[in-house]
């Protein structure tokens, strides 16, 4: 089982690496890591398990956050009380996006950032992501609102970008009137 200590902290320089595409078939190690990521993200969003195992709640994780510079991510999106849609995408790319931009009103968070961060992170309201499942089959996901934000956030990780990079330290809420809060 993954623990909070297994997730790299924002000060770790490995988070700035640009991850490399994976090849198929995936290694047994990568498949095991993906299973552990799904387990962590699911359990972290179920309050009694999150408390029992002392997990920080999160809905997405990129392999690089575990120190693995490979292009795969997992998003576990709660669609109803303890009911989840799980997305596992290898070599993901955003192939289209809306012109409308949104931001998380309460502020974006990250399992690698162990502090409150004030400010807005403008994101596309809708994105289409293409990539591959764990068997190497091409997949496409259309995402909107918070799911679209999660995909953009995790793909940024694969490119060595942190959400904090988007926030203007001198004016953290700059241009907030130009985007829709969710």
Rounded to two decimals, the pTM is 0.97
| CATH code for position 160 | 3.90.45.10
Number of domains in the chain: 1
For residue 152, what are the domain limits?
4-181
Banded pLDDT at 78 (limits 50, 70, 90): very high
* Cα 90 to Cα 139: distance, rounded to the nearest angstrom: 9
| Per-residue pLDDT at 46 | 97
154 part of the active site: yes
- Selecting among 47, 108, 130, 154, the annotated active-site residue is 154
Mean pLDDT of all residues in 6-11: 98
* Cα 141 to Cα 93: distance, rounded to the nearest angstrom: 10
User: 126, 98 in Cβ contact below 8 A?
Assistant: yes
Could you identify the residue written with the tokens 């998380």? 104
- Digit-coded pLDDT (tens) for 132-157: 999 999 999 999 999 999 999 999 99
């Amino acid at each position: 089982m993954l623990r909070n200590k297994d997730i790299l902290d924002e000060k770790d320089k490995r988070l700035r690496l640009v991850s490399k595409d994976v090849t198929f078939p995936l290694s047994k190690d990568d498949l095991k890591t993906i299973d552990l990521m799904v387990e962590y993200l699911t359990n972290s969003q179920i309050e009694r398990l999150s408390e029992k195992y002392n997990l920080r709640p999160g809905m997405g994780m990129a392999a690089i956050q575990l120190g693995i510079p490979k292009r795969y991510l997992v998003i576990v999106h709660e669609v109803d009380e303890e009911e989840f849609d799980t997305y596992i995408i290898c070599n993901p790319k955003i192939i289209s996006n809306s012109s409308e931009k949104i931001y998380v009103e309460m502020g974006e968070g990250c399992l690698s950032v162990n502090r409150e961060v004030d400010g807005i992170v403008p994101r596309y309201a809708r994105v289409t992501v293409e990539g591959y499942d764990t068997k190497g089959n091409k997949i496409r996901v259309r995402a909107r609102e918070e799911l679209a934000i999660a995909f953009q956030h995790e793909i940024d990780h694969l490119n060595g970008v942190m959400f904090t990079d988007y926030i203007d330290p001198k004016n953290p809420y700059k241009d907030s009137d130009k985007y829709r809060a969710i």
